[in-house]
Amino acid sequence: MEGPQAGRPARSGLAARLLVSPAFGSAESRRHWKDTLDQPVPFTEPRYAQRLTDGQLGRLKELHPDGRARFWGATSRHDGKMEKVSTGDVVLFTGKNHVRAIGEIGAIFQNSSFADVMWPPNVGGESWRTVFSLRQFGLAEVPYTTLSTLLGYKSNFQYPGQLVLSGERARAAIDGLLVTTRTALEEAGAVESSCTLRELAVERQHTRSKAVERVAQQVLFNRDESALVIEFCGTLTDTTTKRFASTAGICDILLDGPDGRELIEAKSRVERSYVREALAQLLDYARYVPGEVGRLTALFPQPLEPKERNLLHHYGIDIIHRLAPGVFERVPAPGQAREQMRGVWESSEPSH
């Protein structure tokens, strides 16, 4: 068995690298997808476990205590790139001109024997050598053009092979897609590292529901909220946008512009439960915002009903809603309500 390492230590979740991995373009890759991404692999069963070193098996059990995980990998010609990847990094699975799924890297190691059990090579074919599990996995439907805009690539870039990106370019895509890794939440203190992640059955390819549920009610990726935020941010000028992590979680947008600092939380729907969730998250995150924040704002795909609008305005929270493609309208909270609530969120002492 290659690779004495049990897995590479995680780097900071907010400094994660971005792996772009072709995974859906060929018949062979689609077969591998069906075998180890559509369904988790019971790696503690003898036919798998006997191919693992003690360290590799121990690391997998640590990250996946139920003994099951989704897996992907790479052949030896990608060894140089894959050496840079570690726990907590983000992987985009690509094919047919789209990001088809998004995952968070779990354990990663070299072991062709283990890989061959999951992905038997064709006659005369090459074994996969680097293997990684996924702490989280969710289906996506992000066009290459959207990803290229976030990465600063030409709009017709086709993502033909493995890419490993770091620094500002990786951060731009991870933040732009609103990807929230469990590793980043653990580092921020929003979840305990010993908490067990419970995966649900993965959604069917054309549904739009969440694929993973976990504590703090933040998922790895929500395609509708991500699309809304990307469209909204594309309308901004003279502003900078980022995210920040705290024990409350990771916010959607922290905006610095001519009118000051603004905290924005996006929701994909306008029913009351989503409005209340936005309200709770904004008030929670506001206690941790570095520096003064002038506005709290909830972003929605369409106008709210009066009852829901009044709820947010009562707590001094602005509303931004989408009117048409690339067109958004702000419905500001009454100034008096905002100033009263600013006194509350600025004076609150976060509990750690």
Residue 124 pLDDT: 76
- Classify residue 177 as exposed, middle or buried by CB count within 10 Å of its CB (0-12, 13-18, 19+): buried
169, 202, 235 - which closes a domain: 202
Tell me, yes or no, whether 229 and 192 share the same domain: no
**Range list of β-strands (E), 11-155:** 18-22, 70-75, 90-95, 98-110, 128-143
SS3 55: helix
**Same domain, yes or no: 235 and 281:** yes
pTM score: 0.84
Alpha helix locations (H) across the chain? 27-36, 46-49, 54-63, 79-82, 112-118, 144-151, 167-176, 182-188, 223-233, 272-286, 306-314, 335-347
One domain, residues 18 and 77: yes
pLDDT of residue 220: 85
Q: What is the pLDDT of residue 305?
A: 98
Residue 27 to residues 20, 23, 31, 141, Cα–Cα distance (Å): 19, 10, 6, 19
The Cα–Cα gap between 287 and 299 comes to 19
Q: How many CA atoms lie within 13 A of 306 on its CB side?
A: 0
Q: What separation in angstroms does the CA of 276 have from each of 310, 312, 335? A: 12, 8, 21
Same domain, 230 and 110: no
- Are 153 and 233 part of one and the same domain? no
Q: How many domains does the chain have?
A: 2
Q: Going residue by residue through the chain (352 aa), what tens digit of pLDDT does each one get?
A: 565 455 555 554 567 999 999 998 788 889 999 999 999 999 999 999 999 999 999 999 999 999 999 999 999 999 999 999 999 999 999 999 999 999 999 999 999 999 999 999 887 788 999 999 999 999 999 999 999 999 999 999 999 889 999 999 999 999 999 999 999 999 888 887 744 333 333 333 333 333 333 333 456 888 899 999 999 999 999 999 999 899 999 999 999 998 899 999 999 999 999 999 999 999 999 999 888 899 999 999 999 999 999 999 999 999 999 999 999 999 999 999 999 998 887 766 665 4
57 and 178 inside one domain: yes
Whether residues 89 and 231 fall in one domain: no
